[in-house]
Structure 1
């Protein structure tokens, strides 16, 4: 057969296939809330600002409403915007919206054997176990609070070594925050120069950057294709494997020294659970779930708290009068002779308000991890079929003008009543909401208060530039809102 004829037949077959796929997309679209018309294969990718996806989706919601459909590639996602919408879906219908949607940058590695990206009974059991273990350590001989306070002292020591000279705070804070979770998971902290700690931090930080890049976005949309293409996205799996090897070595050492009567950490408790259920073929407690669950916990417990603290320093250098008021409250309630404790929080309404406003304003995770509708349901009059992927725009809650007056302005008064007492707000979903709320929420809140107050108790942070020139515009915007790189000086008080 003539080559030209073969080429024409091939092109006709390809076009027919694309038409069939596009027809299915449009048929599926007709069953979901309205949204912009998708293109074949790429969907609505070119209609979204890749550098600030959350802001782009919030802009679309003004045209299509608080619930609309968007296609990343050929698969639809339900987009939720605004506090009332999020409350109705994630809280009032927590069972219906409680599944975990596909997220290939993690799924392709964890294969749904972890705490964050599994579903059904496996997720329920692993989450229940993790929460119970963390609570037990919180009530043990050496509480989580004591572990945090101890680690902060190492951080203070490193900050004093800067001797008022300029430094970038991110790396040193990340070492300290990561060590808190390492202490809980592995039973002991690492020296800041330890190669294992450095590899843990570098692999996690590098992956967050890759996941927030265009390569990470493409991988999440077209994983079957990207697996076979060269590019920076291939380093995501390599970084996952670096962390895996570290965890395998730590687990092996724990197996050799395990004392069932004196569990030291999360690994010990999990190994004991594995031994207890070794004869149960349906058990979810096996070596692979231990590795993957620790993997996910380290990711969740490292960069988000680190980024929030780093960003907080930058913001308070922009608003030094707010930092001074926090330091005045610290002087009144805690003084300079003892480290802050979690019980101090209830006596420090202004500091508590500042921390909550920092979390709202920073909006560290502008988009929640994807949810999945577990059963046919309705939302704001729309029929939502089972297995629909859901993206919650958390930025739309934190910057919802119906919940916060002038949300673009940093203002601790958002969390203070007329008498100066702390006022909580349900429109703060830093850790998401509903059944899929971050299992490390309590720990992260404790860390944030203890780190924040101890740092301001001991130091005043000075910018190298005038406050007018401090730029609070975030970088990233796909996975994490991160501050632009900056230096500062830690001036002892």
Structure 2
């Protein structure tokens, strides 16, 4: 009986195969579709740094992969990504709800929602972050305080080799805490450490083989123990933590003077309680807090880790940065984000760090809201759209030496900073990163503070730190140690 059932299933797959190939005709080119696994045989179990580059070189800058029976179009290079994310911004505005993301994201918040709810939640978040002082002294002061804490932690190493990753992660996460909750946590706080541990695990799970396996076989993975269940357990613990913080905020009167994101959101809930079209509720607030931490802490942390690695590997560039800071800002004193306009070389180095070591392997998947004709291809409604932002930042048509770490990419002949259209680390279009401005301020203040206070050197006997990354959803530097030697002028 079992043999007959297996034979019947095989026949169905064989019969479906030519039909599937026939239905591929409107799509861009890509690897051959195979039953069950789609075209993922061409990718392999684990992505490599050059996986997408090789596929684009073989099939073109618009190519297709099949995740089982789910079609996914990948946009590679500046021209294709710009056409998709900017010229077809609204057509590709929806977020895909895969089986795992549907469970974790609940199609709520900002990152995982669509339609009216997404537009309302996103608009509120943008307006609120501006009210809280993004780009003004209020928010910058909190970031400066956290940068000072990081300097103290680095100074405690007394110039000896140490791993900066945990200290950086804690400081960046505490910036998000200040935005969401209105205060920072002690880095020894048990709840804070559990929150950070949960975020680290979920980020390592996303984009992994196990997530891919869950998306293809959700009915199976929901029933067996393993990484997917552990990731969802961590997510639920983070939701529970956020809900407790919301309850604490309810107990204080912040109607007239809201101090943080939760205060502003609870006020909006109260003002909109009679609006039948309102999507303001505690479930959405909980999800947004979770998203703030997941999206905001990982990217800034990794960028700063890459920054210190590159400065240690390029002492000549590091010294030019320090000299400019000293010449322009003078003796140690506070500075603001606006000072970046006077620090042309430092600003160029920060941009080049983000460009050369972009920390997200692939942009967040979107979904085509209607049939779209783009660059000679018909992309049917419902197709998953993935933009390879890394390929934009390494596009040889846009950058003189794309594979090299070269701050001159952002400088003109006179040494003045030059913005580039192809610099898209935060994405583009309707789903451009919500926290772009916060991230820019963070990176500038943290990086400038560190470069002003320390010389970052390689440990004795180490000639160069490894720049070959670990690939997952993020592009992570391999563990390393450096020496933070205090500068005499600090």
Q: Same fold (TM over 0.5)?
A: yes
State the shift of 1:102 in Å.
3.0
Tell me, what secondary structure is at the counterpart of 1:461? strand
Counterpart-to-counterpart distance in 2, 1:141 and 1:377:
41
Matching residue of 2:52: 57
Tell me, what secondary structure is at the counterpart of 2:251? helix
Tell me, what secondary structure is at the counterpart of 1:366? coil
Residues 159-209 of structure 1 deviation map (CA, whole Å, 9 limit, x = unaligned): 222222222111101111111111011011111211222112111112112
Matching residue of 1:488: 482
Counterpart-to-counterpart distance in 1, 2:460 and 2:124:
48
Contact 2:134 2:140 in 1 (8 A): no
Q: Is the alpha carbon distance of 1:28 and 1:174 closer, same or farther for their aligned partners in structure 2, counting shifts above 3 Å? A: same
Q: Is the alpha carbon distance of 1:220 and 1:314 closer, same or farther for their aligned partners in structure 2, counting shifts above 3 Å? A: farther
State the shift of 1:11 in Å.
2.1
Pairwise mapping of residues 257-268 of structure 1 onto structure 2 (< 5 A)?
Answer: 257-268=252-263
Counterpart-to-counterpart distance in 2, 1:106 and 1:192:
30
Tell me, what secondary structure is at the counterpart of 2:89? coil
Q: Of 108, 114, 124, which residue of structure 2 is paired with 1:113?
A: 108
Contact 2:70 2:383 in 1 (8 A): no
Corresponding position: 1:303 with 2:298: yes
Q: Of 328, 348, 367, which residue of structure 2 is paired with 1:353?
A: 348
Counterpart-to-counterpart distance in 2, 1:124 and 1:31:
31
Counterpart-to-counterpart distance in 2, 1:71 and 1:415:
38
Counterpart-to-counterpart distance in 2, 1:263 and 1:193:
28
Q: Is the alpha carbon distance of 1:30 and 1:482 closer, same or farther for their aligned partners in structure 2, counting shifts above 3 Å? A: same
Tell me, what secondary structure is at the counterpart of 1:112? coil
Pairwise mapping of residues 214-363 of structure 1 onto structure 2 (< 5 A)?
Answer: 214-363=209-358
State the shift of 1:435 in Å.
0.8
Pairwise mapping of residues 28-427 of structure 1 onto structure 2 (< 5 A)?
Answer: 28-53=23-48, 55-138=50-133, 143-427=138-422
Matching residue of 1:462: 457
Counterpart-to-counterpart distance in 2, 1:265 and 1:31:
49
Contact 2:134 2:437 in 1 (8 A): no
Q: Is the alpha carbon distance of 1:353 and 1:49 closer, same or farther for their aligned partners in structure 2, counting shifts above 3 Å? A: farther
Contact 1:54 1:367 in 2 (8 A): no
Q: Is the alpha carbon distance of 1:91 and 1:481 closer, same or farther for their aligned partners in structure 2, counting shifts above 3 Å? A: same
Contact 1:336 1:457 in 2 (8 A): no
Residues 291-347 of structure 1 deviation map (CA, whole Å, 9 limit, x = unaligned): 001111111110110000011101111111000000000001112321331111000
Counterpart-to-counterpart distance in 2, 1:454 and 1:176:
13
State the shift of 1:142 in Å.
6.3
Q: Is the alpha carbon distance of 1:479 and 1:306 closer, same or farther for their aligned partners in structure 2, counting shifts above 3 Å? A: same
Tell me, what secondary structure is at the counterpart of 1:44? coil
Q: Of 443, 455, 466, which residue of structure 1 is paired with 2:438?
A: 443
Residues 331-383 of structure 1 deviation map (CA, whole Å, 9 limit, x = unaligned): 01112321331111000111111011100111111200001111221110111
Contact 2:128 2:261 in 1 (8 A): yes
State the shift of 1:17 in Å.
3.4
Counterpart-to-counterpart distance in 2, 1:427 and 1:43:
32
Q: Is the alpha carbon distance of 1:126 and 1:465 closer, same or farther for their aligned partners in structure 2, counting shifts above 3 Å? A: farther
Contact 2:372 2:379 in 1 (8 A): yes
